[in-house]
Chains A and B, each alone.
Chain A
């Protein structure tokens, strides 16, 4: 029998309304006690082998990221499942959901099984994949969702592409509902964003870069909410970025529709001003928008209109980023620096610590009911993230687990760091 006692930390577990200094006992990968563990520690012959002193640190349920790109199969020079899951663990994530836009696309059981198997043989976070909604992400024919679900898929999406045809999208929702799969949409009316490089507005005009207007996001969100209402599907807006989309989700939720949304750390923290120097590290899709959009996203995350935070971890090599802006790929390497980029939101009073941790744990867990996770209550699997909130450090290239380093925070001093990450009672990361 294996036994670990995490002592003296501030346990923050929104799922069980827990927030206070308390011990946590883990036996055989399961939480067996949340409370004073002195009597257990006193009986240990070699306490040093079993006790973790978490004084001054936050002990949270393992973080869950519903939206990552691990690039395997197909672009292993940017990231692979092993490096991606190690990066996730280093960022405090114990479960991550890779998107299906790999090469070949994860639109069939064989690819899903391969990804799950690669995840099981890797160390780090657990891999729980999303499958494609349509074959080849082409937006034409349904993918074999039931088959992929049996192999471990918990949701479907064509992420990176939006299903443009409304009739197809309706069928996707009807079919996904049959198998209770979460339907996550990359909301972009591609007819409005051809050649787009950044948010359409004063900055894109000034820089002479083609704009990606809010309307292209809002139109799809509006259409899909109408379809979700008609079909009853569990519908999820991936990486929401515009204030209009926030308004639409709020309205749909007020009527009790089973809809949800996620937001990335970069949309919460940056605006299109970050592109003034043509910094390709800040080129993302959907794009960084205005101060007003950012304020709307923050407010919506705080009040629960936006359910959860997802990094949209999008590793790219220097080949895709050290080039002219038009040629640069979209995406930020997000897993390892999520916590330092999110903690200022608590310091600034945008979010309570409880809400921040909830948006990384209990809220995403609710959207993926197939996998039990997101809580530290007795009997839960011991997926645990311990945060050192005061540590300051500088993320250097060689200190990151990801194969890629495309983040605007590279070489910038940050505060807040993951101290330890545990998956099913095993320590998978120690800073």
Chain B
């Protein structure tokens, strides 16, 4: 098994072979989480720092559980509250961390590109846990892993992404990964929520939700935030829900065995009706379970093997 990456900043550095390697590892680790004793010694003695500049519950917890199930020492640093307010620069924080000799730093930051900055300035590997509107590669990987588990393959699947694509790092990473695997990606949203030049990433834009989700195999629904009303992007959540929200009637237009996904947190009654969120086709909780497995696989591939390579080279 070969995996030559030190860091994971975005999915566009991954080949299909790399993703297959990650999925194979994740298959193995998926089972670990279902055992009575959910711990393996793989990363004993390794230090993993969760560096979160933005509030996060599910992603941070998922990484923390992944690290702990692999016996790594996981340290959570919520920086938003401390250093930034004291005026410490990102560069100084990075150098301070470096002196603590972590094996991997997992970073979430509100500024797009911040993980690249860390990667350039750190000797250890970096995992991007979401940066600004840029990328969220572990989310895209866990989404693809979830679809693959249910469908066996992503090739030729029709996937519709509905919601606030403009502000979504999840959408950007998913588009890249789905395209890598030969899926057909559609984007369904009002034009105010679609960034300029998005077609060039390999998607087709639909103004009509019913046409956009017709016959799709996967429906990825993104959160609509109340803040968007202030920037004159939406008139009201009510109108969004009426025009683009996914309800049972609209869902019936999709393929019979459509997979409904949402990266969370959900705004029930806005972008997704409760009946859809909790319905038989919902894979929302499968996504959460897959997230731990994918993150265990990445920690294993990025810390374990690469460190050994460094020692022998």
Give every chain B residue within 8 A of A204 (Cβ-Cβ): 195-197
Binary A-proximity of B71-92 (CB < 8 A = 1, otherwise 0) = 0000000000000000001110
Q: Which residue of B lies closest to A200 (CB)?
A: B196
Does residue A203 face the partner (Cβ distance < 8 Å to B)? yes
B91 contact from A200, A203, A277, A323, Cβ within 8 A: A323
**Chain A binder among B38-46, B128-136, B178-186, B240-248:** B128-136
Do A325 and B196 have beta carbons less than 8 Å apart?
A: no
**Chain A binder among B112-120, B139-147, B206-214, B284-292:** B112-120
Give every chain A residue within 8 A of B169 (Cβ-Cβ): 208
Which parts of A190-237 form the interface with B (CB within 8 Å)? 197, 200-211, 213
Do B113 and A325 have beta carbons less than 8 Å apart?
A: yes
Q: Which residue of B lies closest to A318 (CB)?
A: B91
Nearest CB of A to B202, in Å: 11
Does residue B200 face the partner (Cβ distance < 8 Å to A)? yes
Q: How many B residues have CB within 8 A of the partner chain?
A: 24
Give every chain A residue within 8 A of B172 (Cβ-Cβ): 205-206, 208
In the bound assembly, the distance between CA atoms of A120 and B92 in angstroms comes to 40
Do B113 and A203 have beta carbons less than 8 Å apart?
A: no
A324 contact from B114, B135, B195, Cβ within 8 A: B114
Do B133 and A209 have beta carbons less than 8 Å apart?
A: yes
In the bound assembly, the distance between CA atoms of A213 and B197 in angstroms comes to 12
Report, as a range, how many residues of chain A touch the other chain: 20 to 34
Do A208 and B112 have beta carbons less than 8 Å apart?
A: yes
A selection of 14 A-B contacts at a CB cut-off of 8 Å is A201-B197, A205-B172, A205-B195, A206-B201, A207-B113, A208-B133, A278-B116, A323-B90, A323-B117, A324-B109, A324-B114, A325-B112, A326-B110, A326-B112
Q: Which residues of B contact A (CB under 8 A)?
A: 89-91, 109-114, 116-117, 131-135, 169, 172, 195-198, 200-201
Give every chain B residue within 8 A of A319 (Cβ-Cβ): 89
Does residue A322 face the partner (Cβ distance < 8 Å to B)? yes
Q: Which residue of B lies closest to A324 (CB)?
A: B111
Nearest CB of A to B90, in Å: 5
Does residue A327 face the partner (Cβ distance < 8 Å to B)? yes
A-B contacts at CB below 8 angstroms, number: 75
Nearest CB of A to B179, in Å: 12
Nearest CB of A to B7, in Å: 14
Give every chain B residue within 8 A of A208 (Cβ-Cβ): 112-113, 131-135, 169, 172
Give every chain B residue within 8 A of A322 (Cβ-Cβ): 91
Nearest CB of B to A278, in Å: 4
* Given A207-B113, A209-B133, A324-B114: A202 and B200 interface contact (C-beta under 8 Å): yes
Do B197 and A278 have beta carbons less than 8 Å apart?
A: no
Give every chain B residue within 8 A of A207 (Cβ-Cβ): 112-113, 134
Which parts of A9-45 form the interface with B (CB within 8 Å)? none
Nearest CB of A to B85, in Å: 15
A-B residue pairs, 3 tightest by C-beta: A208-B134, A202-B197, A208-B133
Binary B-proximity of A312-338 (CB < 8 A = 1, otherwise 0) = 000000010011111100000000000
Interface centre among A201, A205, A277, by most chain B C-beta atoms within 10 angstroms, is A205
Nearest CB of B to A237, in Å: 23
Nearest CB of A to B262, in Å: 20
Q: Which residue of B lies closest to A194 (CB)?
A: B231
B134 contact from A200, A209, A327, Cβ within 8 A: A209
